Amino acid sequence: MSEDSVVVVCGGGGFIGGHLVADLRRQGFKKIRSVDIKPVSDWYQTFPDVENLQLNLQEKEACEKALAGATVVYNLAADMGGMGFIESNRALCMLSVLINTHLLMAAKHHGVSRFFYASSACVYAADKQRDPNITGLKESHAYPAMPEDGYGWEKLFSERMCRHFREDFGLATRVARYHNVYGPNGTWFGGREKAPAAICRKVLEAKFSGKHEIEIWGDGTQTRSFMYIDDCLKGTQMMLHSEVVEPLNLGSDEQVSINQLVDLVESIAGLKLKRAYKLDAPKGVNGRNSDNELIKKYFGWAPAIKLREGLEKTYAWIHDEMKAGRYKE
């Protein structure tokens, strides 16, 4: 892919999309088109030398406009958030199927050379995630299908769409299953934030208020792995340019419980909090971790940035946002 290639980032106003646009600029790409449904003033990162378009990619005409002349497409666009959002908005999450469907149709129409789809660990079968001490989810664990209701079903269906556009129409599609991406310049307030940002915000609220208490969703024993944004960007672009056509895990295999996640953020903040467990809150599956055997086999690489390192940067950024009063809905 040359520097003159037209690279389109769908969902470019969001967390991962904004970082991807920034990284493409750093690499010297001159023709970057960033597309998002939000007004440009609400995007997490914007750049004056990037073509920024506000479009609703659920609409076919918008996808045609977004992909006109495109060489490469990254589809990161979806209506989504953390567990509190996706468990309460299943229909909205399912409607993201329109985005990927219309983008694939437009990519075929415009002769796009490479198409990346951001899938999710939520595609994995629920019965593989009942134990907090899960060893890791292999790519094969997506079938027989029993994904996260709503959001996970949409992701799994859209993976299949990518596969069949590749097999039937020759569109070079690549798919990564993201595992809990986090970092600065993302959602940390308002209901769509994920666990790392939410815990950082709650610890900072306790620190600033002097009320040293924190509410934790569930009993805190549920386990996850969290991937720092820099690893996500590297893996995403590596997969796009590869000849690996099957969906691959893209996630850290450093598994922690939510209680351990709170321990880490408390350590960074230099305080200990009294914990209140909200047992009726959305908490997702009991255990989820990334098995990185396949990505290591294909690339000799896997996400490796330690959770502590990434959380320190995320905490510092949210600290500055809160001090400046920039609450993002």
Residues marked active site are found at 151
- Inter-CA distances, 257 with 82, 217, 254, 285, Å: 16, 12, 10, 12
> End-to-end alpha-carbon separation of the chain, Å?
36
Measured over the CA atoms of residue 198, residue 130, residue 94 and residue 162, the dihedral's sign is positive
Segment (H or E) for 103: helix 97-110
Beta strands per DSSP E along 164-230: 173-178, 181-182, 213-217, 223-225, 227-228
Structure tokens belonging to residue 239: 């997969």
Structure tokens belonging to residue 144: 């027989």
Beta-carbon contacts of residue 19 (< 8 Å; ≥ 6 apart): 45, 183, 185, 229, 232, 233
Structure tokens belonging to residue 25: 């600029």
Angle ∠(315,318,321) on CA atoms, nearest 5: 155
Helices (H) and strands (E) in the chain, counts: 11, 13
Q: Give yes or no for a contact between 180 and 229, defined as CB atoms under 8 angstroms apart.
A: no
Letter string b/e over residues 63-88, b meaning 16 or more CB atoms within 10 A of that residue's CB: bbebbeebbbbbbbbbbbbbbbbbbe
